[in-house]
Amino acid sequence: GDSVTQMEGPVTLSEEAFLTINCTYTATGYPSLFWYVQYPGEGLQLLLKATKADDKGSNKGFEATYRKETTSFHLEKGSVQVSDSAVYFCALVKTSYDKVIFGPGTSLSVIP
Amino acid sequence: DADVTQTPRNRITKTGKRIMLECSQTKGHDRMYWYRQDPGLGLRLIYYSFDVKDINKGEISDGYSVSRQAQAKFSLSLESAIPNQTALYFCAAAPGVHLANTGELFFGEGSRLTVL
């Protein structure tokens, strides 16, 4: 079945470091891909999205590019801040069933 | 005020008890969802509803039931709680357009349930 795999955490970075969180997916057809973020004590919120191959989603300094050839959607940020400490979830949706399938999440801690 | 509100936020109960988690939304969205979050497993879909008369099972519906009392209200029940239902539960709402285009689920803040 369709699924999403993410790099295991937790990830700990110093402020201003470069961030990459790997995400790969397994799905037939052409899913849409998303990154959600969960700040401590809160629900998830959509961070960015890409609906077709080679699309780049971006928001709040985060970017991810939909790579169909490698079935990947890696999340990157050039300079992380303490306020970016959260759990990040990669997710996919296929139009055939219109439900969101989430990866296991990657916890990020940014230290001053 | 939050657009999606869950009650209670925390609940401790005993094995065999009936528990109801409630969810209400002010965004007027047609679709509502219940997810369960466990460490290392991400979010798994329990039930979802595309409108008041349309209820569907998700991937882990056994041991749970739901009721869509109105467009704005979607409650989750555990008829006889067991310890492995200890988890963080999230309700979410979405507009009645293809999620593949928007991807946007609007989540509540979660209900932490502990079953002893």
Encoded amino acid at A94, one letter: K
Mean residue pLDDT of chain B comes to 92
- Answer whether B99 touches A (CB < 8 Å): yes
Task: Render pLDDT for B5-25 as a digit per residue (tens, 0 to 9).
Answer: 999 999 999 999 999 999 999
User: Residue A97 above 80 pLDDT?
Assistant: no
Whether A31 shows a pLDDT value over 80: the answer reads yes
pLDDT band at A7 (very low <50, low <70, confident <90, very high): confident
Our CA-based measurement puts residue B18 at a distance from the nearest CA of chain A, in whole angstroms, of 25
Residues of chain B above pLDDT 90, percent: 75
pLDDT at position A91: 94
- pLDDT for residue B1 is more than 60: no
The Cα B15–Cα B1 span in angstroms is 34
Name the CA dihedral angle for B66, A95, A106, A112, rounded to a multiple of 10 degrees: -110
Q: What is the pLDDT of residues B63-94, one digit of tens each?
A: 999 999 999 999 999 999 999 999 999 999 99
Kind of pairing between the strands at B54-57 and B42-51: antiparallel
Minimum CA–CA partner of A34 in chain B: B103
Model confidence at B2: pLDDT above 70: no
What pLDDT, in 10s, does the model give residues B22-64? 999 998 899 999 999 998 888 999 999 988 999 999 989 999 9
The answer on pLDDT for B97 being more than 80 is no
pLDDT on residue A6: 94
Facing residue for B42 by CB, picked from A41, A93, A103: A103
**B81 CA: distance to closest CA in chain A (Å):** 23
Q: Which pLDDT belongs to residue A94?
A: 81
* Alpha carbons B81 and B61: distance in angstroms, whole number: 13
Q: Which residue of B has its CA nearest to A50?
A: B101
- Which helix (DSSP H) or strand (DSSP E) does residue B25 occupy? strand B19-25
Q: Which two tokens stand for residue B9?
A: 């936020």
Beta strand B10-13 pairing with B111-115: parallel
